[in-house]
Amino acid sequence: MLRSIEYVGSTVGTLIGGIVVAASGPHLGYWLNAASFLVSAVLIVGIAASLLQTEKAESRGYLQDVRDGFSVVFNSRALMAVFIAWNLVMLSNAGVNVAEVFLAKVSFNAASMRRRGSSSGASRSCTRPRWA
């Protein structure tokens, strides 16, 4: 039930976000996103400290704890498989993120987004592609 609510929330949230951006541009979407983070921060601050941690975690120091964690991963075939697969996915995702910029510029004839007061002195925003 909880997972269904999460999926419906993600779907409806994405739909509403798309409508907001289409109707008013990306700035309102960014402000609403920032406001949602602020609301989340206020809710988290309201959690009593006694509910956050029930007992002190055992630790031998940060670096030693990291070494211990990697030791567990490297000595388990199942965890090592997950570690390798996860890192391959993350590296592939990084490549896709970089390639999307070139896809937008070359295939969709999109202009570069430049910030106001950038080193090039450009003060214009992104222009609409021809197909929009």
Is the dihedral angle over the CA atoms 59, 63, 66, 68 positive or is it negative? negative
pLDDT score at 123 = 42
Distance between CA atoms of residues 110 and 128, nearest Å: 7
Contact 112, 126 (CB under 8 A): yes
- 114 phi/psi in degrees, rounded to 5: -125, 140
Contact 129, 109 (CB under 8 A): yes
CA distances from 57 to 60, 72, 82 (A): 10, 18, 25
**Single pTM value for the model:** 0.44
Residue type, 132: A
pLDDT tens for each residue of the chain, 132 residues long: 889 999 999 999 899 988 988 898 888 989 998 999 999 999 999 998 888 877 788 888 999 999 999 999 999 999 999 999 999 999 999 999 888 888 888 887 776 666 554 444 444 445 555 555
Q: Using CB atoms within 10 A of its CB, is residue 21 exposed (0-12), middle (13-18) or buried (19+)?
A: middle
